[in-house]
Amino acid sequence: MAFAAIVVGLLVGPATFGLLLVGANSYVLPWAVFAGLAALVTVGTLVAGPAIDRERGYRDAVVAWRSMSARVAVVGDFNARNRTHAFTDAALEQLDLGHEWVPTDAVPAQAETRLGGYAGLWIAPASPYRSMEGALAAVRYARERGVPLVGT
User: Could you report the per-residue pLDDT of 114-136, keeping only the tens digit for each?
Assistant: 899 898 999 998 878 999 999 99
Q: Which sign does the torsion angle of CA 20, 24, 28, 32 carry?
A: negative
CATH of domain 69-151: 3.40.50.20
Contact between residue 130 and residue 103 where contact means Cβ atoms under 8 Å apart: yes
Q: How far is residue 139's CA from residue 39's CA, in Å, rounded to a whole number?
A: 59
Q: How far is residue 139's CA from residue 111's CA, in Å, rounded to a whole number?
A: 10
Give per-residue pLDDT as tens, 1-32. 456 656 666 666 666 666 666 676 767 776 67
Output the pTM of the full model: 0.55
Contact between residue 137 and residue 108 where contact means Cβ atoms under 8 Å apart: yes
Ranges of each domain in the chain: 2-65, 69-151
pLDDT tier for residue 39 given thresholds of 50, 70 and 90: confident
